[in-house]
Structures are given as structure tokens and as C-alpha cells.
Structure 1
Amino acid sequence: MDAVCRAIDRLSTAVGILAAWLLAPLVIALCYEVVARYVFGAPTIWAYELAYLLTGSGWMLGMAYALAKGAHIRIDVLYLNLSPRKRALVDVIGYCCLLLPFLIWVATMLDDRAIHAFRSGEKTGQSAWNPPLWPFRTVFFVSFAMLALQAAAEAVRAILVLVGRAPGAR
């Protein structure tokens, strides 16, 4: 089971690195837009939409990576004072009873929305560029599915701590 958790960590890391690389085309597009708008007086019809699509994709695809690295915000006032087994119990309850059911539900809904956007040819409707919406909706689905996978791996690690078999290093 530990090998599966490490494989999920590697996948989350790979997707997180991809999310980070989305910043490069975002910066290039925004710099191009600034120069086109203020130097040449010719703003683009695509920069605004590309910027929010890439920004949203970067944030969403980075969620599982942030969970794998323990970078999500958590209120540690009580949690840090608990023993490792009690922390593991809190984690199991949080992941299994709250986070995983929610993530599975959201991923299912997002899957349906991505399929519908593809079939209907839905467009963003935010600018004259008006690109298709299905790729962005697919990114949302993949992001929440990845976050659910990473949450499941974290839950397995917490269960291993509870049963006295601490997981290996990440």
C-alpha cells in the first residue's frame, strides 16, 4: 500500500510541476498584451481569457501537489499538540468522512459538465476570442480527481499510523 501512496505522490508532483509551467505562457501572454495595448494601441482579443484560463488551471492542477507537500492551510493550534496517533485519527476522520466524499461528488459533477461542454460545443462567452470551454472544464475534473487520489493516499498513511505501521518516507 505504501508503494501505491508513493506512486500517487509522484503523479501529484508531476501534475504540480505541469501547473507551475503554466506560469510561463501566462507571463508571456500578459507581457505581450501590455506591449500591444500600451505601446502599439492594439489590444488583443485573447489575452484576458487566456490569462484567466491559465491562472485557474495552474491553481486547480496544483491542489494535489500542495496536499502532498502539506502546504494547504490548516488550523494547527490544537492539531500540533496532539500525539501522532491522535493526529492520524483526526486525519482519517477528516479525509474519509469529509474531504473524500466531497471531492468524489465534485469530480463526478465536473466530469458531467466537461462531457456536456464537449458535446454541446459550449464556449466561454467572455470575449471575442470565445474559445471552447471543455478543455478548461476537463482540467477542473482532473484537478479534483487528483486531489481525491492524493487525499486517499493521505488517509491510507494516517490509517497505517493508527494500526502501528508508520508509512515509509515520501
Structure 2
Amino acid sequence: MHKAALGYIRAVDAVNHRIGRIVMYGIFVLMGILLWSSFSKTFLNPTLWTLEMAQFAMVAYYILGGPYSIQMGSNVRMDLLYGNWSLRKKAWVDLFTVLFLIFYLGVLLYGAIASTAYSLGYWGSEPMSFFAGLITGSEEIGRTERSPTAWRPYLWPIKTVMIVGIFLMLLQCTSELLKDILRLKGETI
């Protein structure tokens, strides 16, 4: 169990670290989009795609960078009491609170999967069977959802990014849970 937990922690931390280090440069993509938006509105004809593309870039930056933030401990915390606690007490509190976060992320992941299925034209109530049917060939993509703006981009790509980001966050929270358990057993990670 101990070796399996350490292997899981190392694998998840490595994946989220690499993705986080790449995604952190997404802020420059966002800045480029907004700079182009300002330039085109001032000197050229305003473009339709810049505001919505900036929103999509920010969602990807935030969602895919979240697991890295949790891993680095740079997420926002209420340190009024927490900062003065011992490592053991912090591990107990983190162990307890991460369970709520894992539950919340599970609900959020199911909602993201259902929303993505809807954006691919599925109108039923079983999104998991829809995706299983896509793999086996028994389902087809229907009328895909588009944004109601003038640009009208498809929404399934950003919803897919949300699924990936929430799933990575769920994996990272499970890794943090295992780290807390190992800390409570007195082991160094």
C-alpha cells in the first residue's frame, strides 16, 4: 500500500507539475489576445473573436493551473489559525477538508461531463452512456452547441478542457489526501 501510494503521488505530482509549468505561460497568450483586441479596436476594425477567446484562454489558464497551485500550496487559505499549527494538526485539518473538496470536484466533474455531452448534441439524461456510445459507435454527435455571440464558436472544446482540468484537480486532491495520511503516519514525502 505504501509503495502504491508513493507511486501514485509521484505520478500525479509529475503530470500536474509539467502541465502547470506549461499552462502558466498561458497568461502571455491571454495578454496577446487582449493586446490585439485593443490594437484592432483602436487602429483597425474591431474583431468579434477577441473577448470570447480571452474568456476561453482565462478558463483554460485557471482550470488547468489549479492542480499545480494546490500542489505548490499557493492556493488561498485562511492562515489566521492554520499558520501557527503543527504539521500534524495541519495534516488532520487538511485530511478532513480535502474530503469535502473531493466530493465537490466529483459533482463538478459529473456536471462538466453532462454539459459537454449536451454541447455535442446529446439531449438525454445519461451522459456517461452517451460517451460510451461514441466509443462503440452506437451514438452519434448531434447538433453541436454554439455560443450565442456574433462570433458563434463551438463550446465543446472549452468544456472538454474543463473536464480535463477538473479531473486533474481531482487526482491532485487525492494525492494531497494520501500525503496527509502518510504525514499522520510520521513518514516524510
TM-score w.r.t. the length of structure 1 is 0.89
Runs of 4+ with >3 A deviation: none
Q: What code does the residue aligned with 2:170 have?
A: A
For 1:14, the equivalent position in structure 2 comes to: 18
Give 1:28's aligned residue: 32
Paired AA for residue 111 in structure 2: M
Aligned-pair distance for 1:108? 1.3
| CA deviations over 1:19-70 (Å, ceiling 9, x no partner) | 2232333222222222222112x00111111111111211111110100000
Distance 1:57 1:70 in 2: 20
Residues 27 and 81 (structure 1 numbering): CA distance in 2 closer, same or farther, change over 3 Å?
closer
Q: Distance in 2 between matches of 1:124 and 1:165?
A: 50
Choose the corresponding residue for 1:91, options 85, 90, 94. Answer: 94
Alpha-carbon offset, residue 140 of structure 1: 1.3
Give the gaps of 5 or more residues in structure 1.
none
Q: Would you say 1:102 and 2:130 are equivalent positions?
A: no
Tell me which of 169, 182, 186 is aligned to 1:147: 169
For the pair 1:54 / 2:57, whether they are aligned, the reply is yes
Is 1:39 aligned with 2:43? yes
Cα distance between partner residues in 2 of 1:55 and 1:108 = 22
| Identity across matched positions, percent | 27
Gapped regions of structure 2 (runs ≥ 5):
122-142
Q: Which residue is equivalent to 1:113?
A: 115
SS in 2 for 1:165: coil
**1:114 shift after superposition:** 1.0
- What is the one-letter code of the residue matched to 1:136? I
Q: Kindly indicate whether residue 154 of structure 2 is the aligned counterpart of residue 138 of structure 1.
A: no
Deviation readout 1:57-94 (Å, 9 max, x if unpaired): 11111110100000001112222222221111111111
**2-side partners of 1:28 and 1:74: how far apart?**
31
TM-score, normalised to structure 2, is 0.81
Deviations 1:125-152 (A, max 9, x none): 1x32110001111111111111111111
- From 70, 73, 84, the counterpart of 2:73: 70
Q: Which residue of 2 aligns with 1:124?
A: 147
